[in-house]
A and B are shown apart, each in its own frame.
Chain A
Amino acid sequence: MDFTIIAETNGDSLHPTTYQLIGAAASMGSNSTVICPNGVGASEAAKINGVEKVISATGDCFNIFDGGAWASAMSSMCGEMTLISASPNGREIGARIAAKKDIPIIQDVVSMSEGITVNRPIYSGKAMESLTISGSAVITLRPNAFEAASTGNDAPINVVDQSADVKIAIQEAINKASERLDVTEADIIISGGRGMGTIENFSHLEEIADTIGAAVGASRAVVDEWGMPHRMQVGQTGKTVTPSLYIAVGISGAIQHLAGMRSSKYILAINKDPDAPIFGVADYGIVATWEDAIPALKSSLSELQS
């Protein structure tokens, strides 16, 4: 089975998920051909172990993101099995390549084994699906679900100039100050309670939220007593939320607060009181003051991002 990988980029270099895609192919006992759209990251890709060759795909069609044009430019270079990151762009390119080649696409795969058998979450993670692919397909892989390949390679790079019809044009860039997500929309929420001391200290939580694209929430005490906006309140008289991760900082976990967040997939609680009720529902609990834990959390998460 030959594997083709469409590189995922981050600005001028490869996104870490590209290493994971290559690693995934390697775990199936296969080297891969890596296609770098617009040539971005080609020399970096050549150094990754498990890469047989790199195709640096260049052309005007890569100047802006038009999924149709990109797929058109790259699909002929894709072999039997194509792996792409399950990022928004990756999912789109993957779907178009699959439709073009009349082969199946399986999105957001979290594990892969001989067969080729893959597992993917469905119903927003309430269930898992196991599928076996017996032919050509496009698979998108969930970021951070696969081991990254190591470096030390020196693969050849071919430059291939491609052209395709671009049907999208950017009329106007709207650089708005990104509004922080609302608690009801976010996949990750970091919430603060009385334990944060003052409303000013919430700025630390906001920094973390900005780092990981989370929303900031608050307990009722903080809203009623410190004037935090009511729309941030999580709990019985606030919002009910179901994020993948709820980080509760300085929140004791009174029943009224739990009512709003106990259906979160994972709960991380940080509180200096080891007997705080929140630890009863937390998947991960850290007994520490926010002053100690939050800076550590911030640097740990920043490191993870890079």
Chain B
Amino acid sequence: MRIMAYEALDFYDVDSLLTEEERMVRDMVRDWVDEEVIPNIEIACREGVFPDEWRVALGEMGVLGAPLKGYDCPGLSYTAYGVICRELERGDSGLRSFASVQGSLAMYPIWDFGSEEQKNHYLPKMASGEWIGCFGLTEPDYGSNPGDMITKAEDMGDHYLLNGAKMWITNGTIAELAVVWAKLDGVIRGFIVEKNDPGFSAPEMKGKHSLKASVTSELVFQDCKIPKDRILPGVKGLRGPFSCLNNARYGISWGALGSAQACFDSAKDYAMSRIQFNHPIASYQLVQNKLSWMLREITKGQLLAYHLGKKKDSGTWIPEHISLAKMNNVDIALEIARVARDIHGANGILDEYPIMRHMANLESVKTYEGTHDIHNLIIGRHITGIQAFTREA
């Protein structure tokens, strides 16, 4: 028997705007998260593992690389992709990170910048979940400033030689392939590195307090030899990685709402049940103020995400639109998680409740895919025309 169906907070009925296809995709992922993810996520988090069954299930459902068309990819709308991210992240941000990296950061660059051979070789197996991909841009010393990266590729005639290291790479240790951005003659290019390529290793980064049910890795290239046909021919410069990041950031703007909804639901249920001074704490004004604020921010965030989805689907978007939504929705989600923890009192620190797991996860989500401050400056530059990222002109 299906277990109790989840009803998400949707105060302004934004989901009523979804197409029937988007609704059916939503319900498919939502039911799966209820049945397979939520009952198991706390154990996965405690043990620090990403259950392989989830990779299999995501592949079977056919949601990986959601908005990509052709090559056995789903070919769904961007709105559907957003909905998928939201439903996954209601379960856990680490789960949604897996899907974001696979779809937007590993499949997408091959789809947009790869050769026909590369697309036919990699995309179908990535869509089915058989091959996991990851995205190597960030380096130990180059995070917000990827343009100055030092990972280098040298043209050795019959192969490329990669040297350098990437850090904070989701899926790295479990991936069959990595889309790695490195400088070839001073120009950033994309390279597909496969896990057995000589000179390549992907050790797991341990000791995380956040995204514990997700695999985070280093990618280490020590005279790593890769065949010439592994370069992505279709793009040069930062446009390559940034195109990928735009897609992932878009998904995150929806995803964060899933996390916020999970925290809101838990806080509301808890406030209605917890009796202190003979009354449920939901009857006290300060608690109601908090719940009301959460509803307000989630509703605003939903409208932002939905409209952005429409702009993505109609091609009328610019990267700054995505910066706004990612920044806003992640920011409010993290605040909602913190306030929700407060409402739960001491109980909120236990993994009986999902609150602190979401809260800790959202610290990463606020930092990756462009920190909050960087997106802030992206919008500032858009308003003023003046870049305020660096001290140089």
Check if B347 sits within 8 Å of A255, measured CB to CB.
Answer: yes
CA gap between A259 and B352 in the complex, in Å? 11
Whole-angstrom distance from the CB of B88 to the nearest CB of chain A?
21
Q: Which residues of B contact A (CB under 8 A)?
A: 1, 3-4, 42, 269-270, 273-275, 347, 351-353
Give chain A interface residues in 228-263, CB to chain B under 8 Å. Answer: 236-237, 240, 242, 255-256, 258-259, 262
Interface centre among A242, A259, A262, A277 (most CB of B within 10 A): A259
Instruction: Tell me which residues across on chain A come within 8 A of B274, comparing CB atoms.
Output: 255
CA gap between A256 and B273 in the complex, in Å? 10
Instruction: Tell me which residues across on chain A come within 8 A of B353, comparing CB atoms.
Output: 236
A-B contact count (CB 8 A): 24
Check if B273 sits within 8 Å of A185, measured CB to CB.
Answer: no
Instruction: Tell me which residues across on chain A come within 8 A of B4, comparing CB atoms.
Output: 240, 242
Whole-angstrom distance from the CB of A238 to the nearest CB of chain B?
9
Check if B270 sits within 8 Å of A255, measured CB to CB.
Answer: yes
Whole-angstrom distance from the CB of A138 to the nearest CB of chain B?
29
Instruction: Tell me which residues across on chain A come within 8 A of B270, comparing CB atoms.
Output: 255
Confirm or deny: A280 has a beta carbon within 8 angstroms of a beta carbon on chain B: yes
Whole-angstrom distance from the CB of A85 to the nearest CB of chain B?
26
Whole-angstrom distance from the CB of B45 to the nearest CB of chain A?
12
Check if A237 sits within 8 Å of B347, measured CB to CB.
Answer: no
Interface centre among A185, A236, A240, A259 (most CB of B within 10 A): A236
Bin chain A's interface residue count: 10 to 19
Check if B1 sits within 8 Å of A184, measured CB to CB.
Answer: yes
CA gap between A230 and B4 in the complex, in Å? 19
CA gap between A220 and B1 in the complex, in Å? 23
Check if A185 sits within 8 Å of B1, measured CB to CB.
Answer: yes
Give chain A interface residues in 161-214, CB to chain B under 8 Å. Answer: 184-185
Check if A256 sits within 8 Å of B269, measured CB to CB.
Answer: no
Q: A255-B270, A256-B347, A262-B273 are in contact. Are A184 and B352 (CB under 8 A)?
A: no
State the 4 A-B residue pairs at the shortest beta-carbon distance, nearest first.
Answer: A236-B352, A237-B352, A255-B273, A256-B352
B270: nearest chain-A partner, CB-CB: A255
Whole-angstrom distance from the CB of A236 to the nearest CB of chain B?
5
A277: nearest chain-B partner, CB-CB: B275
Instruction: Tell me which residues across on chain B come within 8 A of A256, comparing CB atoms.
Output: 347, 352
B344: nearest chain-A partner, CB-CB: A255
CA gap between A277 and B351 in the complex, in Å? 22
A-B contact pairs, 18 of them (CB 8 A): A184-B1, A184-B3, A185-B1, A220-B352, A236-B352, A237-B352, A240-B3, A240-B4, A242-B4, A255-B270, A255-B273, A255-B274, A256-B347, A256-B352, A259-B269, A259-B273, A277-B275, A280-B275
